[in-house]
């Protein structure tokens, strides 16, 4: 996941000194907020004199076209237009940048549908706009899952409340970039903060239930759906590489993964009539409880010496609640 440093969150150093430090630490983007303030573009010119790092401009105005010429002249790489500030304005082109639409936590993702062709990404504002150091609103975990399903070709950026723990969750969910301000510049060395954002977790404030795929997003087969076709259809439809099996009480019976399916087919490749779904089931899969914190989940995963791509999520009575998928992570990050 890319990290976009919100440089206006730091007022302790000059802009040239700050961006040079960010460059030395390998930052991905330099994030600039512009609230109808032309002086921002002078700051961008200053940054251009000291850094080749791409600029990530968040433009908050009801008349964005007035800035298009200067944005294009500066070759700004990323520009986000804030939905709630646009009024009746509809962007239909004019920028050479990649263009995103910013939405606050209370705005649902369906506002993106009629204008999706004009935008490259969405920026989800996960804290109260204008609030520095606010907490990440976990409603955005749901919105991220919904957006990825509705607009699979569009990138997701997130701004607000991103710390080491939230960064881990966002990476796991396939978020492309996170805007980070206070966490980068307050009370700790820049390098240590970046390391946590990219690889580590810290004190946990979220549990599995906050960001997992819930039941309606999870491949599940009940007792009456146990044919080979049922298994293949669930695996193909959800594209997660497995399906969960449960009983009439929604209690976990086991899982069937691509590997389980493949092994049974190989065993009976000469006699396909002997293929049995019951022989494919892993009846003792590794699971996680829905109330487990992120830090405890990571400690749990580290005890295994083999890759784990997904975890069925259950409650204390073993009822299936959903799944955590790690398809967007590499094993080294756990």
Cross-strand partners of 27: none
Residue spans in the chain of domains classed CATH 3.10.580.10: 213-333
Mean pLDDT over residues 198-206, rounded? Answer: 71
What is the C-alpha to C-alpha distance for residues 196 and 192, in angstroms, rounded to an integer? 6
**Coil, strand, or helix at residue 276?**
coil
Please report, in angstroms and rounded to a whole number, the separation of the first and last CA atoms in the chain: 15
Domain 213-333: CATH class, spelled out:
alpha beta
Nearest to 209 by CA among 323, 97, 131, 303: 323
**How do residues 305-319 score in pLDDT, each as one tens digit?**
888 889 999 999 999
What is the CATH topology of the domain spanning 2-206?
TIM Barrel (3.20.20)
pLDDT tops 70 at residue 256: yes
Nearest to 48 by CA among 30, 68, 69, 25: 30
pLDDT tops 50 at residue 69: yes
Contact assessment for residue 234 and residue 217, using Cβ atoms and an 8 Å cutoff:
no
Residue 331: the pLDDT is 38
pLDDT tops 70 at residue 333: no
Residue spans in the chain of domains classed CATH 3.20.20.70: 2-206
pLDDT tops 70 at residue 62: yes
**How do residues 10-28 score in pLDDT, each as one tens digit?**
887 899 999 999 999 999 9
Nearest to 96 by CA among 63, 67, 125, 124: 67
Mean pLDDT computed over every residue of the chain: 92
**How do residues 140-171 score in pLDDT, each as one tens digit?**
999 999 999 999 999 999 999 999 899 999 99
**How do residues 167-189 score in pLDDT, each as one tens digit?**
999 999 999 999 999 898 875 68
Query: Number of H helices and number of E strands within the chain?
Result: 11, 15
């Amino acid at each position: 996941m890319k990290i976009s440093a919100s440089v206006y969150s730091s007022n302790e150093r000059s802009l040239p000194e700050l961006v040079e430090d960010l460059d030395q630490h390998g930052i991905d983007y330099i994030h600039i907020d512009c609230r109808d303030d032309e002086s921002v573009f002078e700051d961008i010119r200053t940054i251009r004199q000291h850094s080749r790092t791409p600029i990530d401009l968040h433009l908050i105005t009801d008349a964005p076209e007035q800035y298009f010429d200067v944005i294009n002249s500066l070759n700004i790489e990323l520009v986000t237009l804030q939905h709630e500030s646009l009024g009746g304005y509809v962007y239909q082109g004019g920028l050479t940048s990649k263009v995103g639409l910013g939405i606050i936590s209370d705005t649902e993702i369906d506002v993106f549908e009629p204008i999706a062709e004009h935008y490259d990404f969405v920026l989800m504002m996960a804290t109260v706009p204008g609030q520095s150091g606010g907490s990440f609103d976990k409603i955005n975990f749901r919105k991220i899952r919904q957006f990825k399903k509705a607009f699979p070709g569009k990138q997701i950026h997130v701004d607000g409340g991103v710390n080491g723990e939230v960064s881990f969750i966002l990476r796991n969910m396939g978020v492309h970039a996170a805007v980070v301000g206070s966490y980068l510049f307050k009370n700790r060395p820049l390098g240590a903060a970046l390391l946590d954002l990219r690889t580590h977790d810290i004190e946990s404030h979220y549990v599995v239930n906050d960001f997992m795929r819930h039941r309606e997003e999870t491949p599940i087969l009940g007792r009456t759906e146990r044919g080979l076709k049922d298994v293949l259809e669930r695996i193909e439809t959800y594209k997660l590489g497995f399906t969960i099996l449960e009983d009439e009480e929604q209690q976990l019976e086991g899982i069937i993964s691509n590997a389980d399916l493949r092994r049974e087919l190989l065993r009976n490749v000469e006699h396909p009539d002997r293929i049995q779904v019951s022989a494919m089931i892993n009846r003792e899969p590794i699971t996680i409880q829905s109330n487990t914190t992120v830090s405890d989940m990571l400690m749990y995963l580290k005890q295994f010496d083999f890759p784990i791509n997904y975890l069925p999520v259950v409650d204390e009575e073993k009822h299936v609640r959903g799944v955590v998928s790690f398809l967007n992570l590499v094993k080294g990050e756990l």
